[in-house]
Amino acid sequence: MIQSILLFVILATVFVACNTNKKDIIEPDNQTAYLQQHRPQFHFSPDSMWMNDPNGMVFYEGEYHLFYQHYPDDVVWGPMHWGHAISTDLVHWKHQHIALYPDSLGYIFSGSAVIDWNNTSGLQSGEHPPMIAIFTYHNMEGERAGTNNYQTQGIAFSNDKGRTWTKYSGNPVLDNPGIRDFRDPKVTWFEEGQKWIMTLAVQDHVSFYSSTNLTDWDFESDFGKNTGAHDGVWECPDLFPLMHSGTEKWVLLVSINPGGPNGGSATQYFVGDFDGSHFINENPGTEPLWIDYGKDNYAGVTWSDIPGEDGRRIFMGWMSNWQYATVVPTTPWRSAMTIPRELRLKNADENLQIISLPVTELELLRTSKYMDLEPAVLSGETEIKGIGDFTGSQYEIRLTFKLNNGSQFGLASDFGFRLKNDTSQQVTFGYDVSGSYAYVDRINSGKTSFSQEFRGIHEAPLPIESDLFTVHAFVDKASVEVFINNGEGVLTEIFFPDQDFNSIFLFAENGNVQLISGSIYELKSIW
Ligand code: FRU
């Protein structure tokens, strides 16, 4: 009897132990098929439960690491962990164990990761240089008690290529001076000054700190109180160099919530110089510049430690908006990331502006099913036929229009493409010629009633200098990302049709427009 009670206790203990760990053990080769309604097929989404910002994006030994804000116990925001996934090609992702759990110092908010090549931190224990994560501790007790200093910065290290993590025993490494919003450290190695620079979001500006060992940090300067957009809190900054015509420039990304150009969350940027202490904005006095005008690209930052021979600056954002992120109609997960994009600089209107381009690795997703479109003068709405046997609802669309069409009829008032399903739901991407703006209209896109802020037409001002207008769009089950004129304008939007969009139309209203060339590719699922 005693033996069987003992056996029961042992079995019960084992069962409880397995159950407790279960959420954390997502075997990469044992993923679910991800066939749920609205589940993105080639965008990264968590296996289950809540996700927000991308964190700690770093490249090491052939692997792109993506960490992310994650609450593994519910589909809404909660005690933040860092989830983790790895890709060797930026396109196919394998889920990993949760990297960082909340502890007595607080929830693990957003931050970055670097490779400490010279072991400046002294935290290396094996043959690999340590991977160091720098993040914000958000202390809930402090917040509830009404204090102002509940956000501090901590670090953690991994000596096995990001597989397991140890929190630094001396945390926090940067205390809070009494400012409620003091978070999202993005750290980069500043070669010229042989020191680390931390860019931190502090309420309505960013603060720069420096360190030679990642554990002791000195204040350098503030930037931004009187520059840029200020209708919300500044969050998730990123500071990095970008070459332009043989000259090094520095770019500062700053997310803001609310206060985006189409409402809610969005990411603005500044271009200028950084001398190891101060950021000097070279586009002062201009309207805020936005990395994406769509409503669904927030908290995006760039990968650290991409090898010099690659040389790209690669960006990824969270494809949602705090206005409705916690109520979008998906289960058992919430949110996806954008596709990875390469950022470059370009001269525009006497300013340097960022252009965004889908990374070329995305071509790996193309199936053998594609079609080239015949040149045509478009007027009214034309269904693209010949893709009827495509099985998925994931497409890449490339279109080149010519605005000066030389025909006897006038130029259309607007033109573009429309995604439709069999229940008359639709999403339209278009260009309004007289208003000089591109737009996505998701008014009749399916489920929209979950939030007053969701329905609408969202615009990107985009004067066009030449008579050519190019579109490069990625459509997944529940999102569209449109890169216009080689990435000069970007619109990223999510949607939730009752049936997947299974047909594509081209349209030109109140006149016509010439289609010079076009291709549609079916895209594979990454899962
Ligand atoms: C941005 C943000 C960050 C914060 C994190 C918390 O979306 O608010 O500022 O660190 O989310 O999950």
pLDDT value, residue 10: 39
Give the mean pLDDT of 441-456.
Answer: 98
pLDDT at 519 over 60: yes
Least confident of 161-165, 303-307, 411-415: 411-415
Helix H segments across 358-448?
none
Ligand 1 centre from 110 Cα, in Å?
A: 6
Atom of ligand 1 nearest to the CA of 80: 12
Ligand 1 centre from 295 Cα, in Å?
A: 17
Residues 6+ apart with CB under 8 A from 324: 264, 450, 451, 453, 454
Residue type for position 149: N
pLDDT value, residue 398: 98
CA distance linking residue 347 with residue 353, whole number of Å: 6
Q: Please choose from 110, 301, 320, 323 the residue to mutate so as to test ligand 1's pocket, defined by most ligand atoms within 8 A of CB.
A: 110
Atom of ligand 1 nearest to the CA of 235: 9
Maximum Cα–Cα distance for the chain, whole Å?
97
pLDDT value, residue 17: 32
Q: Please choose from 50, 53, 320 the residue to mutate so as to test ligand 1's pocket, defined by most ligand atoms within 8 A of CB.
A: 53
Ligand 1 centre from 187 Cα, in Å?
A: 16
In this structure, are residues 486 and 464 in contact, taking their beta carbons and an 8 Å threshold? Answer: no
Helix H segments across 373-525?
none
Atom of ligand 1 nearest to the CA of 298: 7
246: left (phi over 0), alpha (psi -120 to 50) or beta: left
Atom of ligand 1 nearest to the CA of 265: 7
Ligand 1 centre from 301 Cα, in Å?
A: 13
Confidence of residue 464 (pLDDT cuts 50, 70, 90): confident
In this structure, are residues 98 and 72 in contact, taking their beta carbons and an 8 Å threshold? Answer: yes
Q: Residue 79 class from Cβ within 10 Å (0-12 exposed, 13-18 middle, 19+ buried)?
A: middle
Cα–Cα distances in angstroms (integers) from residue 139 to residues 180, 185, 193, in the given order: 11, 16, 33
- Domain 9-358 belongs to what topology? Tachylectin-2; Chain A (2.115.10)
Tokens of 304: 């650290």
What is the percentage of the chain residues whose pLDDT exceeds 70? 91
Tokens of 453: 């802020």
CA distance linking residue 295 with residue 285, whole number of Å: 24
DSSP 246-267: TEEEEEEEEEEES--TTSS-EE
Ligand 1 centre from 400 Cα, in Å?
A: 38
34-59 pLDDT, tens digit per residue, is 899 999 999 999 999 999 999 999 99
Confidence of residue 385 (pLDDT cuts 50, 70, 90): confident
3 state DSSP class of 470: strand
3 state DSSP class of 19: helix
What is the percentage of the chain residues whose pLDDT exceeds 90? 86
Domain range summary for the chain, segments of one domain joined by + = 9-358, 367-523
pLDDT at 400 over 90: yes
pLDDT at 27 over 60: no
In this structure, are residues 513 and 415 in contact, taking their beta carbons and an 8 Å threshold? Answer: yes
Atom of ligand 1 nearest to the CA of 109: 10
If we measure between CA atoms, which residue out of 354, 515, 508, 505 comes closest to residue 431?
A: 508
If we measure between CA atoms, which residue out of 514, 298, 322, 264 comes closest to residue 409?
A: 514
Atom of ligand 1 nearest to the CA of 322: 7
User: Whose C-alpha lies nearest to ligand 1, atom 6?
Assistant: 109
pLDDT at 5 over 80: no
pLDDT value, residue 227: 95
In this structure, are residues 69 and 53 in contact, taking their beta carbons and an 8 Å threshold? Answer: yes
Query: Is 231 noted as a catalytic residue in this protein?
Result: no
Tokens of 212: 């030679």
If we measure between CA atoms, which residue out of 498, 501, 493, 497 comes closest to residue 520?
A: 501
Apex CA 442: angle with CA 441 and CA 444, to 5°? 115
Give the mean pLDDT of 384-390.
Answer: 67
Give the mean pLDDT of 413-429.
Answer: 95
Q: Omega into 172 within 30° of 0, i.e. cis?
A: yes
- Across the chain, mean pLDDT equals 92
pLDDT at 12 over 70: no
Q: Please choose from 179, 236, 324 the residue to mutate so as to test ligand 1's pocket, defined by most ligand atoms within 8 A of CB.
A: 236
251-298 pLDDT, tens digit per residue, is 999 999 999 999 999 999 999 999 999 999 998 667 899 999 999 999
Apex CA 505: angle with CA 419 and CA 399, to 5°? 100
Ligand 1 centre from 63 Cα, in Å?
A: 25
If we measure between CA atoms, which residue out of 161, 102, 164 comes closest to residue 135?
A: 102
Give the mean pLDDT of 427-454.
Answer: 97
Give the mean pLDDT of 146-155.
Answer: 98
**Residue 395 CA to its chain's centroid (Å):** 20
97-111 pLDDT, tens digit per residue, is 999 999 999 999 999
If we measure between CA atoms, which residue out of 168, 87, 86 comes closest to residue 123?
A: 168
pLDDT at 18 over 60: no
Ligand 1 centre from 125 Cα, in Å?
A: 31
Atom of ligand 1 nearest to the CA of 201: 9
Least confident of 20-24, 124-128, 246-250, 305-309: 20-24
Ligand 1 centre from 23 Cα, in Å?
A: 22
Tokens of 200: 């931190």
Q: Which of 24, 29, 47, 53 is catalytic?
A: 53
In this structure, are residues 77 and 20 in contact, taking their beta carbons and an 8 Å threshold? Answer: no
Residues 6+ apart with CB under 8 A from 390: 369, 522
235-249 CB burial, b ≥16 within 10 A, e <16: bbbbbbebeeeeeeb
Ligand 1 centre from 314 Cα, in Å?
A: 20
3 state DSSP class of 100: strand
CA distance linking residue 472 with residue 358, whole number of Å: 9
Q: Residue 317 class from Cβ within 10 Å (0-12 exposed, 13-18 middle, 19+ buried)?
A: buried
Least confident of 137-151, 454-468, 480-494: 454-468
3 state DSSP class of 109: strand
Which CATH number is correct for 367-523, 2.60.120.560, 3.40.50.2300, 3.30.930.10, 3.90.45.10?
A: 2.60.120.560
pLDDT at 436 over 80: yes
Tokens of 274: 């950084």
Query: Which DSSP state fits 307?
Result: -
pLDDT value, residue 389: 60
Looking up tokens 């590719």 gives 521
> Any idea how long the chain is?
527
Looking up tokens 């500006």 gives 205
The pairing of beta strand 426-432 with beta strand 437-441: antiparallel
pLDDT at 25 over 60: no
List, chain by chain if needed, residues with CB within 6 Å of any ligand 1 atom. 52-53, 69, 80, 109-110, 136, 183-184, 235-236, 299
